[in-house]
Each structure stands twice: as C-alpha cells, then as structure tokens.
Structure 1
Amino acid sequence: MAIPSLLARRSASDMQPRVLVIACGALARELLAITELNGLTNVTVECLPASLHNHPKEIPELVRARIRRARDQVGHTVSGTVCPTAPSTVGFNDNALLDNGTRHASGQFDEILIGYADCGTGGLLEKVCLEEGVEMLAGAHCYQFFATHDRFEQLQDHALGSFYLTDFLARNWERLIWEGMGIAKHPELRDMYFGNYTRCVYLEQSSDPKALAAAHECADRLGLELFIEPTGYGELETAVVEFTTKVTPT
C-alpha cells in the first residue's frame, strides 16, 4: 500500500500561502518532486547554480539579491536556474525565460523560504536570513536533512572520513568533483583531496539506476568503498510542507 504524502493527510480545505522557495540548484529535482507529490501548487521554486557548492562564500549575498528581487518584483535576469512548479496560483514573468526554458519567478508572495542549510557559509547565510526576515532550512548541509539528523550522526559515528553523495552529486560528480576540483587536469589532486576518506556514502533519494551507476563510478574513481543509504527526501519534505502550509495568506 502506498504511503500517503504529508499534505494528503491535511484537510483539503486548508488555505495555503503563496510561497517562493529560493534554493540550491542541487535540490531542484527533489523540491519539484516534493511540490508535485504534496500538491503544493501555491509554491514556486527558484534555484541558484549548484556550482556554488564549490564557492559557498558567494551564497549569502546571492541569496540576499534574490530575496530583494522577489520582493521588488524586478524582472531582470540574474545568473542561475529557475525551477517553477506545475501550474501555480503564482504568476511568472513570461519574458524572462532562461536557456533551459524555465522562468524567473515574479508576482506576490506571502512568504519566502531559503532552500539552503548552512552549506559551508560559516553562519553568514543565517545572518542574511535574519536580516531579511526569512526562514532557512535547519542543519549544516543537505546530507544531514536528507539522512535526517539522527541517522546522519549514526553514519558519522560509524565510520570517520565519509564522503557523501546525493542523487544530484552522483549524477554530476564528474563535472562538479572530477573537473570542478581540478582532478581531471591534475590527477595527483585526487589523493590530496580524498586520501583521508575511508568510504563514499551515497544518500539515495530515488531509485534511479543511472544515479546508482554514477555513484559506483564515482567511488571507483576516488578509490573508495561505496555504502548506499536509501533516504528518500528525509527532513527536506517535512520542512517544505510544514513551512508552506503554516502561513496565513494575506
């Protein structure tokens, strides 16, 4: 028997706020799946580039710029990827198409949720969110909220030196890790970066054979044993559903 979605257990008559989620591009597929699974047609997801994983200090001010643009309803383009949900009560600026055919979000929003944990910003993203009066995801990084806090602590305690992959990172490891970290051009960097790791932990959000095969290849290329931990969407789904249904529309 299929497990009902979190939102399916709520009253269909509950009024829903108009919510913009400004998120990491590495969470785009998962966030769109969560909005579809839970019928969150009131939610728009707009994504910053996933490549910021390699430049986390740039994240806070880019997030601030997106918040202010959303509030000002400015239609100009800022570099990145936008991932709208299925047909929504929130409007889009149809003249602001990106290269991938998605649109920048525009229109009136009741609330904004930042789809990032700290993600290596050293508390700077939290500071921006406090200054701008918006909420962000709890935790240190996406590995923690996919695995859930308690399970992630268990994984950490079981084997020190774990390198983590999500579905996104598994599919894109060569671009983001092998090439993005310079290993493709300088193979000696592999052992410099990963010599102290003991295993590769694949946090599996969905049963995607291509992502699984990519995770195996990544672990092999890094010289690490692969451990697979099925997680689903973990605490990400809970956080998004609870946030997007708790605000009273204006």
Structure 2
Amino acid sequence: MQNHCPPDDVSLTTQGYTDNGRPGGILLLACGALAREILDLKKRNGWDHMSLTCLPAILHIHPEKITQAVEDAVSKHRDSYDQIFVVYADCGTGGLLQQACDRLGVEMVKGPHCYSFFEGNDTFSKHQEDEATAFYLTDFLARQFDAFVWKPLGLDRHPELRDMYFGNYTKLVFQAQTEDPDLTRRAMECADKMGLAFERRMTGYGDLETTLSDWAKRSVPK
C-alpha cells in the first residue's frame, strides 16, 4: 500500500480524509489536523496494517461536536476492522469523549489536547504553571492560522479586537513537529500578528508517536 499526504490541509477543514488502507486490520480514527503526521509515521514505520480515517479538522474549533462525530464513525467502521483506535485527546470535550470511548470499548490518546501530547504529556504538565500565558501553535495551525484562529474570532473583520482576545497572553510557543523553515517563518508572523513574543520548541511527534507505535503492535500484519 502506498501512503500519501493530502495535497494540502485546506480540504481537511471541511471534509474527512481516508487513506488507502485495507479492512481487517487497525483503523485509526483521527482528527484531520493530525493527518500529515500520522501518514508520515505510517510510511516511516511500515504500518501498512493501520488504516487512517480522519474526521474534519474544523471540529478543532467546535469541540462540542467531536464526541458525537467519533461515536458515529466508530459505529460506521466497527464491522470492517479488527480494532479501532481514536486519535484524539480530550480536545475540549470535558471528559465526554473518554466516556464515549469507554462505552464503545475503544482507546484514545491520553492527554488534554494535542499541544500536550506533542510535547509529551509529562513534560507539558510540568511547566504549565510557568506557561499559563502561552498560546500554542502546531505545524498544522501554523499553516492554517487564519482559518482556525484569526477568521473564527472575527479578527479579519475587526482587528481592533486583537488585544481583547490575546491581551492576557505573553508569548506564542511554536511546537514544531518538523524542521521546516517556512513553517517557522509563518509561526513568527502569527506571533507578530498577535503582538506576542515568539518561542520555537522542537517537539517532534511526542506521545503521538509512542502511542501509535504501541497500537501498531496490537495487531500482527497479515
């Protein structure tokens, strides 16, 4: 099976995404904002027995819709795969997603959100007291800052509201999953746009990689 990344992230804001996986193995049911990272890990590790289906990344800004969307997708795909794993952390669902996964008998990624598991949940939790005023950006959000932050807040129409939204923040922390100078430049522009100091932190894939690695071992490729 040949894995491929979506041509861009824009389509993932309004649509789901499915790679060319095969039924019968493991299905990763993921947030569309993680598609590139998961596909890269699958290709790099030869996890051909793991298929990927992504829910629309736009749910990132509508967390109240995530739990039902995951429940519907698990029900839809359950009969076609040996195992289903949910590649979401809590992501603003207030524990409802974990409750749903427990009820459905599927596992999900540990942690409060992707910023935590990319950095590593243990590491992230240790410096939260010192970073209560940090705004976090991932590779995906560096690419899609306008679509997921600026426009939903109405700042494209009312830039004068910037300080009302971001006045309590002191810095933007760019959690880089990859070494990409263009994304770093974009993240710096985001910080400047928000009026915040900039810090780049190379996280790689963090607990996402270790979690997927563990799940990959649960089913032996046929």
TM-score scaled by structure 1? 0.76
Q: Equivalents in 1 of 2:89, 2:202: separation in Å?
A: 20
Worse-superposed segment, 52-61 or 172-181: 172-181
Kept in 1: contact 2:78–2:84 (CA 8 A): no
Q: Equivalents in 2 of 1:193, 1:111: separation in Å?
A: 42
Q: Equivalents in 1 of 2:181, 2:221: separation in Å?
A: 41
Cα offset, 1:150, TM superposition = 2.6
Q: Match of 1:170?
A: 142
Q: Match of 1:144?
A: 116
Selected match of 1:58 from 48, 54, 65 = 65
Q: Match of 1:238?
A: 210
Aligned-residue identity in percent: 47
Selected match of 2:46 from 34, 39, 49 = 39
Q: Match of 2:107?
A: 135
Q: Equivalents in 2 of 1:226, 1:210: separation in Å?
A: 15
Selected match of 2:93 from 112, 121, 132 = 121
Q: Match of 1:200?
A: 172
Matching of residues 171-190 of structure 1 within 5 Å? 171-190=143-162
Kept in 2: contact 1:160–1:198 (CA 8 A): no
Q: Match of 2:3?
A: none
Runs of 4+ aligned structure 1 residues displaced above 6 Å come to none
Kept in 2: contact 1:204–1:232 (CA 8 A): yes
Cα offset, 1:20, TM superposition = 0.4
Q: State the aligned residue count.
A: 199
Q: Equivalents in 2 of 1:207, 1:116: separation in Å?
A: 24
Cα offset, 1:37, TM superposition = 1.1
The one-letter code of the counterpart of 1:55 is: H
Which runs of no fewer than 5 residues in structure 1 stay unpaired?
1-16, 73-107
Cα offset, 1:153, TM superposition = 2.5
Q: Equivalents in 1 of 2:111, 2:181: separation in Å?
A: 29
The one-letter code of the counterpart of 1:176 is: F
Q: Match of 1:25?
A: 32
Residue 158 of structure 1 pairs with residue 165 of structure 2: no
TM-score scaled by structure 2? 0.85
Could you say if the C-alpha distance between residues 67 and 190 of structure 1 is closer, same or farther in structure 2, counting changes exceeding 3 Å? Answer: same
SS in 1 for 2:159: coil
Kept in 1: contact 2:49–2:221 (CA 8 A): no
CA offset digits 1:131-164 (Å, max 9, x no partner): 1110000000001110012321344233331000
Kept in 1: contact 2:91–2:113 (CA 8 A): yes
Q: Equivalents in 2 of 1:119, 1:160: separation in Å?
A: 17
Which runs of no fewer than 5 residues in structure 2 stay unpaired?
1-23
Kept in 1: contact 2:89–2:110 (CA 8 A): yes
The one-letter code of the counterpart of 1:205 is: Q
SS in 1 for 2:217: helix
Q: Equivalents in 1 of 2:153, 2:75: separation in Å?
A: 32
Cα offset, 1:249, TM superposition = 7.6
Cα offset, 1:127, TM superposition = 1.2
The one-letter code of the counterpart of 1:159 is: E
Q: Between Structure 1 and Structure 2, which shows a larger proportion of helix residues?
A: 2
Q: Match of 2:18?
A: none
The one-letter code of the counterpart of 1:121 is: T
Cα offset, 1:208, TM superposition = 1.3
**What do you get for the CA RMSD once the two structures are aligned?**
1.6
